[in-house]
Chains A and B, each alone.
Chain A
Amino acid sequence: DTAVSQTPKYLVTQMGNDKSIKCEQNLGHDTMYWYKQDSKKFLKIMFSYNNKELIINETVPNRFSPKSPDKAHLNLHINSLELGDSAVYFCASSQGTGVVYGYTFGSGTRLTVV
């Protein structure tokens, strides 16, 4: 019974395409996040939603658009994919403030743009 699940696990696509990654958590948490992990394993926050409200929006190209239909789901849509978007994208969730409680992570989506 996966706590934070992401789909798909792997995504290979051509430059210029549009793709989405879905995330769902069954922990009852009220905050969800997207992090990007680059080829050097560096993790950087992209977005966060608390109870469907956007609370963190880091310096991310506006080709990336998050959507949270309810507090258990956070999706990431990427338009006009570029080679530099190739990375592992992690969804995470926390109950309340992530700084106090820490995050629960999904297993990641490896995006490869060719």
Chain B
Amino acid sequence: AQSVTQPDIHITVSEGASLELRCNYSYGATPYLFWYVQSPGQGLQLLLKYFSGDTLVQGIKGFEAEFKRSQSSFNLRKPSVHWSDAAEYFCAVGAEDSSYKLIFGSGTRLLVRP
């Protein structure tokens, strides 16, 4: 069955530093992949998505992600982190058994040092 792994439970970076959040997936065919962000007390907001085409995907708030089939990865990056980026980040993959279901990773909490 498909799954999503986010190996880092939390990451701390300094404001202005670059960021990379890791996501690995298990999926038989070409996956539909997503990154969501959840600010404290809020719902999840879609940052970006990939399902075909250019493997480098641009999203909102200056985020990008790169799909690497050979590594089964879809890592999220940002060149310069702002304090407002502190939040929980979730990677998700579309399920193989349903075109409606997303399967989420366990999340990575991003802390930003001033």
Instruction: Give the B-binding residues of A (Cβ under 8 A).
Output: 4, 31, 33, 40-45, 48, 50, 55-56, 90, 92, 94, 97-100, 102-108
Contact B99 A105 (CB under 8 A): no
Number of A-B contacts (CB under 8 A): 67
Q: How many residues belonging to B are interface residues under a CB distance threshold of 8 Å?
A: 24
Give Cα A42 to B49, complex, Å: 20
Q: Is B25 an interface residue (CB 8 A)?
A: no
Contact A107 B95 (CB under 8 A): no
Within 40-80 of B, Cβ neighbours of A (below 8 Å) are at 41-46, 49, 51
Across the interface, A31 reaches (CB within 8 A) one of B42, B100, B107, namely B100
Interface SS majority for chain A = strand
Contact A107 B43 (CB under 8 A): yes
Give Cα A97 to B95, complex, Å: 11
Contact A104 B99 (CB under 8 A): no
Task: Please name 17 pairs of A and B residues whose Cβ atoms are closer than 8 Å in the assembled complex, sorted by A.
Answer: A43-B104, A56-B101, A90-B43, A92-B44, A98-B100, A99-B32, A99-B98, A99-B100, A99-B101, A100-B32, A100-B99, A102-B46, A103-B44, A103-B46, A103-B102, A105-B45, A107-B43
Give Cα A43 to B95, complex, Å: 14
Contact B51 A100 (CB under 8 A): yes
Contact B106 A40 (CB under 8 A): yes
- Knowing A41-B106, A43-B90, A100-B32, the reply to whether A4 touches B43 (Cβ < 8 A) is yes
